[in-house]
Amino acid sequence: METRFDRKQPLSERDLNRIHSATVDVLKNVGMVFDSDRAVEVFKQHGFKTEGRKVYFTAQAIEDALDTVGNEFTVLSRDPNKSYEMNRESFIVHLGGGAPFFLDYDGDRRRATTDDFVNVLKLAHSLDVIKHIRTLISPDDFPYKENEASRSYMNYLTIKHTEKPMHLGPGYGIDMLCIVLGITREKMKELAEKGFVYGDSGINPTSPLILGESQCDNLFNMAEIGMPLDISPMVTAGTTGPCTLPGVLLLQNCEIIGPMVLTQLAKPGLAIRYGTISSAADMRTLSAIYGSPEARLIELASAQIAHFYGLLSRGDVGLTDAITSDFQAGAESMFQFLNVVRSGINFLPGCGHLGSFLEGSLEKVVLDAEIAEYVTRFFRPLEFN
């Protein structure tokens, strides 16, 4: 029998409404854990039902939050030419983040160093298509790893070597950025009220249905100064989430909508971006894979859900399961670039990644920048004049 494919969007309007209804049902009857006394207290003060650190939501509370969430702002740079606008029509390409390994030009895979970190920053600063900076690799030779001193040093190096807007890690970098800009936190708040910010941050719920203490702290820290937040669960079908892709989409949606409500209780009008970065597991190894058709389907359907709610969205670009910059890496990276831009996802970190987020590579940064230029031209409308 001939196989027929539906080349339309993966979700119908009925599907979108079913996902929303099921999300309300889960958050109302199952609830979500917020591993933070402060977060639970905020919910209590606004009349939410709680049991320990589990919070239960009503349909009205979700609707109220969706009515106030922001979806338009301008990201400022120390160099005005590197500022950019973020709205539902824009797409911004961003450096990847968090890889523990570095791949040398000769194929040697090793732990990343401070010199690698600086070289990535310099390279990303020189590539115009990369508009936003993140820590592609996590250096292994810092004297104080995995603590505030390490994070602060990475922020210092980022500010030193690039003027482009930067991603701020949990709770770190705000005061350092204020010093460099010559402004106070109060001034940063005032600018945010007018729609001008100097960076962004993000939180990652833990599946299933938990927002950890550090993530809650970061939410409040960024809400205080009006900094936009990505809410990006990384549900993995078959391990941390259901085996079916619709089940993954439902769980992901619950883990975004719950924290989104908290952002609006903490700071009404705060802009958030809907994360589209869940994936499926290789059931032989149980590792998450990001170059698969399932990952592309998840992000395409997630973009639809973000549009359904009228929210900005955050995806990725250049992701591949290949461990070197070969044909597989190029094919999977280009497929993802085309998929996310065509689907209307707005904020797109990921340049420079290999091996499902585990590796960073200077060569891959350049190749991803080339693809980004290609895709930017491809989606530019033709002009008849």
Concatenating the DSSP letter of every residue in 113-135 gives -HHHHHHHHHHHHH-TTEEEB--
pLDDT band of 147, cuts 50, 70, 90: low
The tens digit of pLDDT for each residue in 22-54 reads 999 999 999 999 999 999 999 999 999 999 999
Taking a C-beta distance cutoff of 8 angstroms, is the pair 86, 347 a contact?
yes
pLDDT band of 1, cuts 50, 70, 90: very low
The pLDDT value given to residue 2: 43
Taking a C-beta distance cutoff of 8 angstroms, is the pair 110, 137 a contact?
no
pLDDT band of 370, cuts 50, 70, 90: very high
pLDDT band of 151, cuts 50, 70, 90: confident
The pLDDT value given to residue 26: 98
Residue 171 has pLDDT above 70, yes or no: no
The pLDDT value given to residue 172: 63
Task: Tell me the C-alpha to C-alpha distance, in Å, between residue 380 and each of 93, 270, 336, 341, 342.
Answer: 15, 30, 18, 11, 11
pLDDT band of 5, cuts 50, 70, 90: very low
